[in-house]
Amino acid sequence: MSDNAWIGIDLGTSGCRAIAIDDQGLVIAQQRSDFAHSQQVQTQQSPQQHWQLVKDCLGLLLSRLDAFKIIAIAVDATSGSVMLADSAGEAASALLMYHDTSASVEASLIKSVAPTDSAAHGLGSGLAKALYLRHHTQQDKPLRLLHQADWINLKLGVSRHITDYNTALKTGFDAQLMCWPDWINALIPSSMLPEVVAPGTVIGRLDNMLCDEFNLSESPMIVAGTTDSIAGVIATGAYQPGDAVTVLGSTLVLKIISERPIFVPALGVYSHRFDKHWLVGGASNCGAAVLRQFFDDETLKSLSEQINLADQPAAYYPLPAKGERFPVNDPNKQPCFSPRPDSDALFLHGLLKSLARVEAEGYQCIQKQGAPAISNMRTIGGGAGNPVWQALRQQYLHCPFLPVEQTEPAYGSAQLARKATQEND
């Protein structure tokens, strides 16, 4: 074993997580720094504060890695969080976060020119937010569009105006033709758009002043990262067609690796390049959030232990509120929680079984569009710890369920950095 190390940085909603791994992919050290709660809910945030948090987190991690040579660093973040910077790399706007909904006018502009299969549609798209910022920022000098991870890479020492093709997808980048499409020129000057490369591409080195500050004798490579969700998939070890990953979080997020891209805009199904393959994804509004409308965590655990899998509970459609997007697109679809039995355990059984059914219907929907059958399943998110939910899912999905050792996006980014630079050796 060598004394080399690779670092992944994940800049998420709540804060920054940095993980260092060795040449076998084993975790050497990890560090977490959180935003103040008041900042987490803000839809427009300070780019400088984001950089300072990452810098502090990275510094604390590096202080525990004196015995290791840092080979490379990769950053993942949310693709829907964007900002503007000037040509000198100074922030020219706030960082408009992924959950900001200000860009309704801009989303309508995109709808008027973008093809229906573009991932740039909707209030959550990076392109809509970029247009909003452009319309609300003084332009007395040339400006550049940066995604959240691009800003951090720039501050780390990357001199090029550059991003990766996963991060750029919802900003309008055509991942099939590997170019910015012609239609985007009607909305934004091409000079504002970044160069796009594959995740894992070496795009620079850590700034010399930062190396001095961190007491590093050699400058690590900076490697293009990816989105936080894709970094999470990389962390699980999924890598070939048929490998599926479900996130059992507040919502159900379904992903499967496919040999071909699939886009069903009406259902919110789109595809990211994933090395030599494609990662096809869709998300239901159903999920664990609905369970907490009825039970707290302690009650959920207690009731789950009382469930008899041989029982036949009622079928529900467990939405937390009106409206579904996948596997059916129906903004008026109503939640259904009746008939509710006297037994809370039987009611929970019905909710969990219905969530398992919705998940299975989601994968069937994607498969009807050309995705492969599920070869195996990896599960992440809070719901992965409920054994009854897992048993019910296995009844519907009929595939092997594989254990997952790592789920942190920061670990996936560290693996991306390691594999990219080891292959370049």
**Is 153 in contact with 222 (CB distance < 8 Å)?**
yes
Q: Are residues 413 and 396 in the same domain?
A: no
Q: Are residues 176 and 59 in the same domain?
A: yes
Q: C-alpha 78: how far from its chain's center?
A: 6
Closest CA to 392 of 316, 310, 327: 310
Question: Cα–Cα distance between 418 and 406 in angstroms, integer?
Answer: 16
Question: Cα–Cα distance between 411 and 10 in angstroms, integer?
Answer: 8
- Burial grade of 396 (CB within 10 A; 0-12, 13-18, 19 or more): middle
Whether cis (ω within 30° of 0) applies to the bond prior to 115 is no
Q: Are residues 243 and 224 in the same domain?
A: no
Question: Cα–Cα distance between 199 and 263 in angstroms, integer?
Answer: 21
Residues spanned by the domain of 91? 4-229+409-424
CATH of the domain at 90: 3.30.420.40
Q: CA triplet 365, 337, 250: central angle to 5 degrees?
A: 60
Question: Cα–Cα distance between 222 and 71 in angstroms, integer?
Answer: 9
Q: With H, G, I as helix, E, B as strand and everything else as coil, classify residue 278.
A: strand
**Is 279 in contact with 240 (CB distance < 8 Å)?**
no
At 98 the pLDDT is 87
- Burial grade of 183 (CB within 10 A; 0-12, 13-18, 19 or more): middle
Inter-helix orientation angle 148-156/47-62, to 10°: 60
Q: Is residue 234 in some structural domain?
A: no
Residues ≥6 apart with Cβ < 8 Å to 167: 77, 79, 126, 147, 149, 150, 225, 226, 227
Residues ≥6 apart with Cβ < 8 Å to 350: 313, 314, 315, 316, 341
Q: Are residues 262 and 396 in the same domain?
A: yes
Question: Cα–Cα distance between 37 and 45 in angstroms, integer?
Answer: 13
Q: Are residues 51 and 176 in the same domain?
A: yes
Question: Cα–Cα distance between 166 and 160 in angstroms, integer?
Answer: 18
At 40 the pLDDT is 66
Q: Is residue 200 in some structural domain?
A: yes
Q: C-alpha 279: how far from its chain's center?
A: 12
Q: Are residues 395 and 287 in the same domain?
A: yes
The structural domain count of the chain equals 2
Distance set, CA 393 to CA 121, 312, 348, 355 (Å): 32, 15, 14, 8
Q: Are residues 245 and 220 in the same domain?
A: no
Q: Are residues 213 and 246 in the same domain?
A: no
**Is 247 in contact with 380 (CB distance < 8 Å)?**
yes
Question: Cα–Cα distance between 203 and 198 in angstroms, integer?
Answer: 10
Confidence (pTM): 0.90
Q: Are residues 188 and 146 in the same domain?
A: yes
Q: Are residues 154 and 288 in the same domain?
A: no
Q: Are residues 158 and 246 in the same domain?
A: no
Whether cis (ω within 30° of 0) applies to the bond prior to 327 is yes
Q: C-alpha 16: how far from its chain's center?
A: 14
Amino acid letter, residue 119: A
Q: What is the pLDDT along the chain (425 residues), one digit of tens a residue?
A: 579 999 999 998 789 999 999 999 999 999 999 988 667 668 889 999 999 999 999 999 999 999 999 999 999 999 989 999 999 999 999 999 988 889 999 999 999 999 998 999 988 899 999 999 999 988 778 999 999 999 999 999 999 999 999 999 999 999 999 999 999 999 999 999 999 999 999 999 999 999 999 999 999 999 999 999 899 999 999 999 999 999 998 899 999 999 999 988 888 898 999 999 999 999 999 999 999 999 999 999 999 999 999 999 999 999 999 999 899 989 899 999 999 999 999 999 999 999 999 999 999 999 999 999 999 999 998 899 999 999 999 999 999 999 999 999 999 999 999 999 985 55
Question: Cα–Cα distance between 17 and 37 in angstroms, integer?
Answer: 16
**Is 103 in contact with 116 (CB distance < 8 Å)?**
no
Task: Report the 10 Å Cβ neighbour count for 205.
Answer: 19
Residues ≥6 apart with Cβ < 8 Å to 118: 110, 172, 181, 265
**Is 75 in contact with 156 (CB distance < 8 Å)?**
yes
Q: With H, G, I as helix, E, B as strand and everything else as coil, classify residue 250.
A: coil
Question: Cα–Cα distance between 368 and 371 in angstroms, integer?
Answer: 7
Question: Cα–Cα distance between 379 and 97 in angstroms, integer?
Answer: 27
At 13 the pLDDT is 76
**Dihedral of alpha carbons 37, 42, 48, 53, sign:** positive
Q: Are residues 290 and 199 in the same domain?
A: no
